[in-house]
Amino acid sequence: MVAVRVVGGGLAGCEAAWQLAVAGHDVTLHEMKPGKRTPAQHTNRLCELVCSNSLRSNNVENAVGLLKEELRRGGSLVLRAAEHARVPAGDALAVDRDVFSRFIEDALASHPHIRRVSEEVLRLPDDGVPTVIATGPLTADALAADIRARVGRDALAFYDAIAPIVEADSIDRGQVFAASRWGKGESADYLNCPLTEEEYNAFVDGLVHAEKFPLHAFEEPRYFEGCLPAEVMAARGRQTLAYGPMKPVGLTDPRTGRRPFAVVQLRKEDVAGSAYNLVGFQTRLTQPEQRRVFGIIPALRQARFLRYGAVHRNSYLDSPRVLDDRLALPALPHVRFAGQVTGVEGYVESCAIGFVVGRMLAAELSGRVLPPPPPTTALGALYGHTRAAQQADKTARYDPSNVTWAMFPPLPGRHRKDDRKRLMSERALAALPGWLE
């Protein structure tokens, strides 16, 4: 059996190591703890949950609940540990974090094909040994610098600055008009939410005074001028947004025949048009404040958020552009990536990409080709996110994301809204066994 190296003993690395070892490959797991920790870590344990102890909803009619169910059915070590360490939390799967980490450490330590090495990996190995890099959102500096040198300056980001995404059918269509600026491109790709001067002023005041999500001690706000949080722009001056992402130039509201005072542009997030991104509205407002302040925009009064805006430290690759379909680097084909560093967000999502990469690599090393999971499954939909499979605009910036229904191909035919998630979930669980076998 083939020797494999996994770097990073977090959710993705431990899951990938387990899947490889179960398939009979000899895995060396390199984790820099206890010699060194990332600034978010407080313990020397593997699979440390650095913040919340919740793995979120367990309901299969919720995208992350479905993802967990697929991992469970696939024999995920992380999910087994979570069930073992479960504490009561209603619909959510929450865990005792120490019990959770200990379960994983014991399982890895007692597996005859896994060896743990406590060392920091300083550069991408070029010795040809199949390697999975799963070093997470706070990949240590030396390795991050080496990755950046190989993929290019712009292809490894150190900060997330993401804008909210709302469900298409929660947008008030009576309050928007479809048009691209100056009539360029497909008009249906953008929905414009016009604001009067009064509404604009209320919105700016809302942004400036809203409660912000506190930064961690290691996160000094180093914003890029091209990607400033909306509230930072609003605080620079009352008209800053009106000359920035809210500028109305090149847009005429067909209902009035005039240019609105300001607009918020919504861009189709997925090919099916089931979700829209608020263009240029990356934000650090707390989630309730995002609902309240974006609710000042007439078209978004009843908006349901699929993803909230966020700004935080996060090392992640521009995966659709710099990785191939195995999530490997074309210039170093023995090196592939897994977990949050590929541009997924969240404990379960990171574990899921570790699971997929571990399975695909294990098959390849045994002389078989395992294709990626079907796109109708949550595993496949999330993997598809790292390939920008459902992204409507392939040239748009690649943003990290939790798993959302917008990543799934739409259901054929018409269905009642209340039935859609159940049907998507049933479709996923029916498609999964074929891939797992």
Binding site for ligand FAD (CB under 6 A): 7-13, 30-33, 38, 40, 50-52, 120-121, 134-140, 143, 216, 339-341, 346-347, 350
Q: Rounded to whole angstroms, how far apart are CA atoms 84 and 151?
A: 40
Output 93 or 143, the one with its CB closest to ligand FAD. 143
Q: Rounded to whole angstroms, how far apart are CA atoms 39 and 54?
A: 20
What are the Cα distances from residue 133, in Å, to 224, 254, 305, 353, 366? 27, 51, 32, 11, 20
Task: Please list the alpha-helical segments (H only) found in 134-246.
Answer: 141-151, 197-209, 230-236
The residue type of 79 is L
Phi and psi at 337, nearest 5°, equal -120, 155
Task: Please list the alpha-helical segments (H only) found in 179-262.
Answer: 197-209, 230-236
Output 163 or 317, the one with its CB closest to ligand FAD. 317
Closest distance of CB 346 from ligand FAD, Å? 4
Compute the 3-state secondary structure of the chain and give helix, strand, coil in percent, each to the nearest 5.
Answer: 40, 20, 45
Output 216 or 321, the one with its CB closest to ligand FAD. 216
Our measurement of the distance from residue 326's CA atom to the centroid of its chain's CA atoms, rounded to an integer in Å, reads 18
Q: Rounded to whole angstroms, how far apart are CA atoms 427 and 381?
A: 12
The residue type of 281 is F
Closest distance of CB 164 from ligand FAD, Å? 18
Strands laid side by side in the 54-57 sheet: 54-57, 92-95, 86-87
Closest distance of CB 76 from ligand FAD, Å? 13
Closest distance of CB 180 from ligand FAD, Å? 35
Output 7 or 195, the one with its CB closest to ligand FAD. 7
Q: Which residues contact 435 (CB under 8 A, 6 or more apart)?
A: 370, 371, 373, 374, 377, 379, 380
Output 200 or 398, the one with its CB closest to ligand FAD. 398
Cβ-in-10-Å burial (0-12, 13-18, 19+) of 277 comes to: buried
Closest distance of CB 9 from ligand FAD, Å? 5
The three-state secondary structure class of 31 is strand
Closest distance of CB 39 from ligand FAD, Å? 8
Nearest to 319, CA basis, from 135, 106, 155: 155
Closest distance of CB 136 from ligand FAD, Å? 2
Closest distance of CB 16 from ligand FAD, Å? 9
Output 134 or 266, the one with its CB closest to ligand FAD. 134
Output 76 or 350, the one with its CB closest to ligand FAD. 350
Output 138 or 168, the one with its CB closest to ligand FAD. 138
Closest distance of CB 138 from ligand FAD, Å? 6
Nearest to 6, CA basis, from 41, 35, 47, 49: 47
Query: Which letter, b or e, does each residue of 420-435 get, where b requires 16 or more Cβ atoms within 10 Å of its Cβ?
Result: bbeebbebbbebbeeb
- Identify whether the C-beta of residue 12 lies closer than 8 Å to the C-beta of residue 134: yes
Closest distance of CB 401 from ligand FAD, Å? 12
Output 213 or 261, the one with its CB closest to ligand FAD. 213
Output 134 or 317, the one with its CB closest to ligand FAD. 134
**Which residue's CB comes closest to ligand FAD?**
10
Tokens found for residue 267: 């861009």
- Identify whether the C-beta of residue 163 lies closer than 8 Å to the C-beta of residue 267: no
Output 36 or 394, the one with its CB closest to ligand FAD. 36
Closest distance of CB 95 from ligand FAD, Å? 12
Q: Rounded to whole angstroms, how far apart are CA atoms 216 and 106?
A: 31
